[in-house]
Structure 1
Amino acid sequence: MPLTFKYNENSSLPLFAWASIQSRGSDIVEVLHGAAVETHPAWGGDAVWPGAFETPVLTDGYLLGSAISISGEEVVYSSSFHSLSRLHIISQGSRLIVSNSLAFALALADDELDEQYPLYARDLYSVRTGMDHCKKKMPTRNGSMSLLYGKSIRVTRDLVIRHQDRVLPDDFDDFAGYKRHVLDAVAALSANAADPRRKKPLKVISTLSSGYDSACCTIVAHSQGCNEAISVVNATKSQGDMDDSGKAIAETLGLTHYKIDQNDYLTSGHAYEAEFIAANPTGEDIAIAGAEHLLSGRLLLIGHHGDKVWTPNITNATDYKRGDASGGSLVEFALRVGIVLLPMPFIGAHLQPKINRISSSAEMKTWWIPGNYNRPIPRRIIEDHGIRRGDFATDKKAISNTIARIFELKDRLENGQKQAGSYKEYARSMNSRMGLRARLSLLISEKGSLLAEKIVNRVNWMFSLLRIPYRFARPFRGMAFRLGANWPIYHWAVTEMRARYKSQIDHPGN
């Protein structure tokens, strides 16, 4: 008997959420999914790829979202080409559960996070060290969960798993070639996303700010026919709030420009905090939730990772080593609302040495500016499209929120005090049950790794003063995100989201 999918749509689930159950020796792979997930005899998922919709290419190229497919006698699970999202795999002996949502996988497996393991935030934040070096397995109450970034796995009927690397294009050597590479990829992805044969065709919208990264995304999207952009109007810096809307760019391009305040999400009544923190413990992208009414059914261009891709002379691995894990907290929100994320700077970033050479080449000197906020490639793309120098990228801003600020804001609102109180009570309970081993591992991770990194940094600094060319590696870079007293926040958020999924599984349609 050939392998076949048995699709089970659940209208209670997030639009793009899916999870599969593959049983050992069975010819049938059960797939439980939301209403907008594609369901075809040979493949399914929330995937977008740069090619014809009728001939899906899921294991190679710039795949967005995730997919499941049948290849001969194997089931193939494919994750996004970038590192903002991942697939979650739980093996339970005679069955294998795979999902694009961590909380969904736990709910379907009747499993939970291990309350005596306080280092989930560290493990997930380690993705900033690159997809080849980050943490790929985490403990659960009943076993463990594997994380799949940027690759595919092929699974036999006997549940034997083998990994398959993703092949990405390599077709540029200078600025013109790189620009064409990015434009062509965005055009192909946009066309695939908008294909009318999809259950939910996706219309392109871009984020926009007055900085480099999202402004470049907007320029590229506009060159491919996109006329809409969305901005968070209050960027947060230590000295206060400031306008970061990219208004001058929107006016020059004639865009329909939607502006939201970074705190708009607080008045919606929806419990966004658990949703964003469960996707990634930083929760820092939560401000975009205020634009939910604008984002359903969208291919959303975002500028995450632009700082490392486009800043000259930064040495990055070809597996997307990053400065942070921003963008990852968008995933659960995107699954529910029906958004496919396109972090445009990741396109071509596997060829980081080439991009560095282009940035530093003689042809780019016109677009170099003094100071630390210098990114000649996006500056040239933006200025080539008629945006004046001075209308963008004059100062580094940010719209991210910290965990402390997220709940400080929530606690001020009468309708938000219940959720803030829920977390506080949960944290108190977790701290009271925390065993000695868990306390020691948290102390060593948060204090010990910080001390070790300071020592390495100081030794390297001394070597530079003495003009000694050797530098020690920074082995603790993946531990740099430290929650401190808020360590239970990820357990709380996943527990909340797992309960939502469990209710949706047990009571479909409610």
Structure 2
Amino acid sequence: MTLRHRVRPHLPPLAWLLEIDGTPQNYRLHCGPSVVIGASGFFEGAWPGELAAMDFASAAEVFGSGATFTGDAWIVVPPSHTLEPLFSVRDGTRLLVSNALPFLLAHRDDGLDPGFLAYHSRLYQVLKGLAAAPIRIPSRKGAEIAVHYYHNFHIGPDLTPTAIAKPAAPAFDSFESYRDYLRSTVDGALRNAADPARARPYRPLATASQGYDSPAACAIAREAGCTEVITHGFARRAFGVRDPDSGEAVAAALGMKATVIDRDAYLQRENVEAPEAEFLCHGLEGGDVHFLSFEALLPHRVLFSGFHGDTVWDLHKPANAVIDRGDTSGASMGEFRRRVDFFHIPVPFIGVLRHAEILAVAESAPMRPFALGNGYDRPIPRRIAEQAGVPRQAFGVAKKAVTVLFFDLNIGLDERLARSTRAALRTFAAGWRLRPAQRLRLAVNALVARGVDLTRLALKKTRLGIRLGIEKHLEPVLSSLDLATLDTPATVMMLHWAMSTIVTRYAAVDQAPEHEFVGAEPSAMTTLEAAESLAV
């Protein structure tokens, strides 16, 4: 016996939507072909446990999402990081839960509310981490969509999602205990991903740069058997200068094969229609679009990255137990990952709720030989990489960035949109209508946002804030203004365009001719009824 489900071959392989009607026992699962389905649960991704056991709900670290059915309730499991959430919406007696917001909207013939002008500001609450969960956003049809990060949640007879804590990672009292936990977690997740019971096993692939975080993640992955690295040759272009950021030296020191691809290569592709839509639809900047350049190498891979290392491993960041983040890097890859079909392990998120202990380890006496005593200082990843054989001069020299900046004031930066995206945006803009009051509100936001950007630029160039000793007091004010004015004419229009583009793609699959569900007989609905009643 297996869960009652319908695999749709043309869905993104890792997308899923769980539809519960009236009671938890009356469910229907719609999913792509790479979602693993067992007797009482389903999952897309990997975790450090046996695939056949499907025990992901009892794991502290999961890299993907799914749910398990207890007979009278569901335990739904988001990833153990805040780069991808799950979404739920109540629709009368029915509850929909999905790992893809466009899928959820398409399934109920819905969309974003054009009258709501604060999607970015609302979705950016993830930067506050779990303190802001669950985030709630409205839909065009007036539904309230809950955005669930990190915590598992229980769905009982009343169909109300109730957060429950994930199992805790073990305590870290030394560098060795922390490093060993990273190693064992990665090793277990890779064994799970490569399980021969999968239709197609997933093989490891690591990212590397000249910073701190990805070289450390790369070293951990190498110990678990990863032998391949992907890297961009250069960071962002500014003032005509291309700053080298290749991780080739890191890969060579670890005995790994490196493939170097230009971060802008995706702009030359003719086989991807409006590529930015897949990233911008998350409402979180879309800056990870450069990963499109790696697409040919990513199917059926487990991708290792260093996302969030700039907080967890930095000596100058205060400890927090809610995954408070400083940026949205890595948070706009969800739709791309589900379509291309790869798992993602952002290594710094492993054991992340024990940030205070990780910071204490970094500040301990045994770590002093690996501390540089400057403003860019991360002894834990430095020790991980150096003890794996990476020479000190090959990484962690200066902070660089490869994310694409679509909306900020980017003086000297050459950022573009793909030709097909520009054409699609022109068509969408021709029919985009806002009331005068809405246009005024967004224009004021844009004016304030530009002022914040100019102020930051002036402070950076003149170092006036440091000289006057007001930088620590000024930055919280600027950050608050920044978050409050994220929704501007450009960002709002591009989000609605991106979401409508991706919703349309899901709807084309969701409304295709139906087939019967596979699995156990429904308790409150016959198989024939289930097959005939999927259209909302």
Q: TM-score, normalised by structure 1?
A: 0.89
- Contact 2:67–2:76 under 8 Å retained in 1: yes
Note the 1:36-435 alignment, pairs <5 A: 36-55=34-53, 56-133=55-132, 136-142=135-141, 143-239=143-239, 240-268=241-269, 269-271=271-273, 272-403=275-406, 409-410=416-417, 416-430=418-432, 433-435=433-435
- Contact 1:117–1:438 under 8 Å retained in 2: no
Q: Aligned AA for 2:42?
A: G
Q: What is the aligned-residue RMSD (CA, Å)?
A: 3.1
Q: Aligned AA for 1:38?
A: V
Higher deviation after alignment, 50-59 or 480-489: 480-489
- Contact 2:129–2:322 under 8 Å retained in 1: yes
Q: Aligned AA for 1:28?
A: N
Q: Distance in 1 between matches of 2:173 and 2:330?
A: 28
- Contact 2:449–2:485 under 8 Å retained in 1: no
Q: Aligned AA for 1:41?
A: A
Q: Aligned AA for 2:9?
A: S
Q: Aligned AA for 1:355?
A: I
Q: Distance in 2 between matches of 1:162 and 1:43?
A: 18
Gap runs ≥5 in structure 2: 460-464, 515-536
- Contact 1:215–1:382 under 8 Å retained in 2: yes
Indicate the residue corresponding to 2:499 in structure 1: 494
Distance 1:448 1:401, change over 3 A: closer
Higher deviation after alignment, 261-270 or 335-344: 261-270
Q: Distance in 2 between matches of 1:193 and 1:355?
A: 27
- Contact 2:85–2:150 under 8 Å retained in 1: yes
Q: Distance in 2 between matches of 1:21 and 1:159?
A: 11
| Secondary structure of 1:296's aligned partner | coil
Q: How far 1:11 moved relative to its partner? A: 0.6
- Contact 1:311–1:374 under 8 Å retained in 2: yes
Higher deviation after alignment, 487-496 or 277-286: 277-286
Gap runs ≥5 in structure 1: 411-415
Q: How far 1:440 moved relative to its partner? A: 5.9
| 1:482-502 superposed Cα distances (whole Å, 9 cap, x missing partner) | 253312111110100000000
Distance 1:481 1:221, change over 3 A: farther
Percent identical: 28
Distance 1:312 1:200, change over 3 A: same
> What is the aligned length?
495
- Contact 1:282–1:329 under 8 Å retained in 2: yes
- Contact 1:97–1:109 under 8 Å retained in 2: no
Q: Distance in 2 between matches of 1:351 and 1:486?
A: 39
Distance 1:398 1:409, change over 3 A: same
| 1:176-228 superposed Cα distances (whole Å, 9 cap, x missing partner) | 11111111111111111111112332111111111111111111100111101
Q: Distance in 2 between matches of 1:332 and 1:277?
A: 10
Q: How far 1:370 moved relative to its partner? A: 3.8
Q: Distance in 2 between matches of 1:125 and 1:205?
A: 29
Indicate the residue corresponding to 2:462 in structure 1: none
Distance 1:396 1:25, change over 3 A: closer
Q: Aligned AA for 1:54?
A: A
Q: How far 1:281 moved relative to its partner? A: 3.4
Distance 1:245 1:407, change over 3 A: closer
Q: Distance in 1 between matches of 2:482 and 2:63?
A: 25
Distance 1:377 1:214, change over 3 A: same
| 1:430-488 superposed Cα distances (whole Å, 9 cap, x missing partner) | 3xx2235544654676667998999xxx9xx89x959x99x989883881672533121
Distance 1:86 1:218, change over 3 A: same
| Secondary structure of 1:363's aligned partner | helix
- Contact 1:79–1:148 under 8 Å retained in 2: yes
Distance 1:441 1:194, change over 3 A: farther
- Contact 1:98–1:105 under 8 Å retained in 2: yes
Q: How far 1:28 moved relative to its partner? A: 2.9
Indicate the residue corresponding to 2:32 in structure 1: 34
Q: Aligned AA for 1:144?
A: E
Q: Distance in 2 between matches of 1:26 and 1:389?
A: 55
| Secondary structure of 2:206's aligned partner | strand
Q: Distance in 1 between matches of 2:414 and 2:244?
A: 23
| Secondary structure of 1:199's aligned partner | coil
Distance 1:267 1:447, change over 3 A: closer
Q: TM-score, normalised by structure 2?
A: 0.85
- Contact 1:313–1:356 under 8 Å retained in 2: no
Q: Distance in 2 between matches of 1:320 and 1:480?
A: 21
| 1:295-342 superposed Cα distances (whole Å, 9 cap, x missing partner) | 101111111100111111311421211110110111101001111111
- Contact 1:445–1:479 under 8 Å retained in 2: no
| Secondary structure of 2:361's aligned partner | helix
Indicate the residue corresponding to 1:413 in structure 2: none
| 1:82-104 superposed Cα distances (whole Å, 9 cap, x missing partner) | 00001011111111111111100
Indicate the residue corresponding to 2:534 in structure 1: none
